[in-house]
Amino acid sequence: MAKATAVIPKELHPKTLTASKKKGTLAKNTTLLQPIKRVYVTLKINSTATMVQHQWSAKAKEAIRLKHAGKKTKNREIRDPEQEGKDATYLTQDGEFSIPAKALKSAIISAAHKDIGIEKTLVRKHLFVMCDDPSGNLAMGAECAPPVIREDHVRVGPGSMDLRYRPYFYKWSVIFTIEMDASGLQLEDLTTLVDRAGFGVGIGEMRPEKGGDCGRFRIDETFKVQVKG
């Protein structure tokens, strides 16, 4: 993949500018920075592996607040596996199954590395996943199959085990839009990064980035990529 760096015109190259400055021929209104070139790219990704979600429930957050406030929390209540699984599911404000937009951006950033020609810092500053929903989540749409609540054994400390009830999405897809600065990041770089994110980073619990194999995806090649800007 080509390194995503802006092409600097000869007249704006640092060596040329330095020479011009010494000769006194550098114009006063010479611009050294390229303007932002905003481009909006709409893509669709399809699942290639099961996605496991684990959103913190309102009850769990409240328990932590009470603990930090020095208040005694209630004794452990009788657990409701089905409800715990539902509480761990990400939803839009309208109640649609969804994924956090920030999780998708984090996956794309994690796919970047200087060894493959593009650094994480550049990607972090040159693209943003758009999301209009107040929840900050992207709807998975009608193609998403309802999740199955499963029981998992998890380690919660040295020698301690517990049970977690989480939603497993066996089929899912998302259509989303990225705002990109095309002055420093090319469209081909973006689509390659998204594919790499789906292949080796993933989204959700037990994803490849964390040593698992869940939450993997790939770009839907039958979906026409929309580019505006």
Note down the domain range covering 60.
36-228
Domain membership of residue 22 (yes or no) is no
d(CA 32, CA 20): 13
pLDDT at 40 over 60: yes
User: Residue 167: its pLDDT value, please?
Assistant: 96
Residue 80 lies in a domain: yes
Please state whether 212 falls in left (phi above 0), alpha (psi between -120 and 50) or beta: beta
Structure tokens at 139: 């709807």
Is the pLDDT score of 133 beyond 70?
yes
Q: What would the mean pLDDT of 144-172 be, rounded to a whole number?
A: 90
Q: Does the pLDDT value for residue 3 go beyond 70?
A: no
| Model confidence at 137: pLDDT above 60 | yes
Average pLDDT of span 57-65: 65
Return mean pLDDT, the chain.
Answer: 86
Residue 27 lies in a domain: no
Does residue 145 have a pLDDT over 80?
yes
CA dist 103 and 219 (Å) reads 16
How many structural domains comprise the chain?
1
Write out pLDDT tens, residues 214-225: 999 999 999 999
Q: Which of 46, 220, 43, 222 minimizes the C-alpha distance to 143?
A: 46
